[in-house]
Amino acid sequence: MTVLRGPRVVLRAWRDDDLDAFAALNADRRVTEFLQAPLSRDETAAMMQRMQGRLAAQGWGHWALDVRGRCIGFVGLSEPSFAAAFTPCVEIGWRLAFEAWGQGYATEGARLAVAYGFGPLGLSELVSFTAVNNRRSRRVMERLGMRRDPADDFDHPRLAGHPLQPHVLYRLRPETLQA
The pTM of this model reads 0.95
pLDDT of residue 179: 52
Q: What is the pLDDT of residue 48?
A: 98
The string of pLDDT tens digits covering residues 49-58 is 999 999 999 9
Per DSSP, the three-state class of 119 is: coil
CATH of 4-176, one of 3.30.300.90, 3.40.630.30, 3.40.50.300, 3.30.1330.10: 3.40.630.30
> In the chain, which residues have pLDDT < 70?
178-179
Q: How confident is the model at residue 176, as a pLDDT?
A: 85
How does pLDDT run across 14-37, given as a tens digit for each residue? 999 999 999 999 999 999 999 999
The domain limits of the chain are 4-176
Cα dist. 129→33, 146, 174, 177 in Å?
15, 11, 18, 18
In this predicted structure, what is the pLDDT of residue 178? 59
